[in-house]
A and B are shown apart, each in its own frame.
Chain A
Amino acid sequence: MKNPLRDEASAFRVVVLTLGGAVLVALGAWINTWLGVVVFLVLVGVALFAIRGGMRQRPTQAHVVHDDGPTRKILVVANETVAGGELHELLGRKAKGVSEDVLVVCPALNSKLNTWTSDEDGARAAAQGRLDSSLTRLREAGIAARGEIGDGDPLQALEDALRVFPADEVVVSTHPPGRSNWLEQGVVEQARLRFDVPVTHVVVESLSDST
């Protein structure tokens, strides 16, 4: 959702658009009262569509400030698929010959109803359980990793994590196409557009691979 009062310039645009809309409604009502009502309803619809985000727009790319330390920082965003063998192999390859710092973020996935009612305790507890299990498996695979729970929106979780963990690379782990909600929502493509860090997509075929 786009906030129409995000800053002064946006609020000023709202003033100009409101004035234009009011003139159109008055003209419609001057011709016929019901025409004025129709114009009003159409304008309200257009405004709601615009506030909701309108046509998908290319997001502004967020800049990630890297430190030039010797450690390679890898940020992994995954849900239950964090334990996949493909992911372990990739992380091992990325960290070969350098010291690594891996941060795993598990988004606290929640239903819309629970999100709207701020009922996220269950989602966070479930995410914590998956995170603990994932970290254990990564450590067993010889990968030093730490983790945290993120926002329910994987892109927001990624952005929040990048604020405090300036990663050299982001790895997004998903189920295969057809079974992955994140792929259906275009999370990987949006992450590549939104952040100026390399984003690697890892498909984990099945959970049994990880065991």
Chain B
Amino acid sequence: MSAHAEAAGHEHHGPPMANRSSRLDPATLGMFLFIASEAMLFGAFFTAYFFVRVVNPDAPATWPPPPYHFPIFVAGVNTAILVTSSFTIHWATQAIKRNDRNGMRAGLVVTILLGSAFLLTQMVEYAHVGFNTGDGAFASVFFGLTGLHGAHVFVGLSLLTIAAVRAFKGHFSAEHHHGLEIPSIYWHFVDVMWIVVYFAVYIL
């Protein structure tokens, strides 16, 4: 964002324009700080996860503890779905920057569908994973970590749905699309968190 020093016109009334020591837009800064707090929340859950994993007597040779297995393939497909949704929301925001409203709407709808597919697949995974929260600490942190992420996906979907409703009502333009850009940043954060969760929990 280029700083833009605007002339203080002689006809200007009211309080003077606020000086901003941060060159970030206040709304974007708010989302950035919120995401920083969310990263700390996830950090706490990751700490619990790695602690449980390290103190497990069989780790890292066998993880999860026998006889349980993580559905790596299904989670991999889910990862691909979520990563794709980042591309589609990026498409949507780039489209509105070119004033392409149809592109924005299509990108939003596809993103919401992909996000919903992710949540649905996660629910199916939970139903067939073969263990429950009472089956040991590893199960608790598994459900805690992936469930926390799932809750964030739900929040992200809610924000994107609001943005989609506004998009279909004719809101947003090439100059004014904060209502889409800020949920998109959140959605990318949710995606980044899932990549970390997937590789930490399922792959490593």
Q: A residues touching B (Cβ–Cβ < 8 Å)?
A: 3, 5-9, 11-12, 14-15, 18-19, 22, 25-26, 29, 33, 36, 60-67, 151, 156, 159-166
Contacts and interface: CB of A to CB of B under 8 A. Distances in A.
Contacts of A11: 184-185, 188-189
A1 B135 CA distance: 45
22 contacts: A5-B35, A6-B32, A15-B188, A15-B191, A15-B195, A22-B199, A26-B199, A62-B2, A62-B4, A63-B5, A64-B5, A156-B21, A159-B3, A160-B20, A160-B21, A163-B3, A163-B17, A163-B20, A164-B5, A166-B6, A166-B7, A166-B8
Contacts of A66: 7
B137 interface: no
A156 B22 CA distance: 9
B167 to A, nearest CB: 15
A7 B23 CA distance: 12
Contact of A5 (B1, B4, B32, B86): B32
B32 A8 contact: no
Contacts of A61: 2
Contacts of B1: 6-7
B188 A166 contact: no
A57 B198 CA distance: 35
A8 B93 contact: yes
B77 interface: no
Nearest to A29: B204
B5 A162 contact: yes
Contacts of A164: 5-6, 8, 16-17, 19
Interface in B122-178: none
A12 B32 contact: no
Contacts of B198: 22
B120 interface: no
A12 B83 CA distance: 10
Interface in B178-204: 181, 184-185, 188-189, 191-192, 195-196, 198-199, 203-204
B193 to A, nearest CB: 9
Contact of A22 (B9, B28, B195): B195
Q: For the complex of A and B, list the 8 residue pairs with the smallest distance between their C-beta atoms, beginning with the closest.
A: A162-B5, A11-B188, A62-B3, A160-B19, A22-B199, A8-B184, A12-B90, A67-B7
B44 interface: no
B54 interface: no
Given A8-B181, A8-B185, A65 B2 contact: no
A3 B28 CA distance: 11
Contact of A159 (B5, B9, B89, B185): B5
Contacts of A15: 83, 86, 188, 191-192, 195
A3 B7 contact: no
A65 B204 CA distance: 55
B24 interface: yes
Contacts of A12: 86-87, 90, 188
A19 B60 CA distance: 23
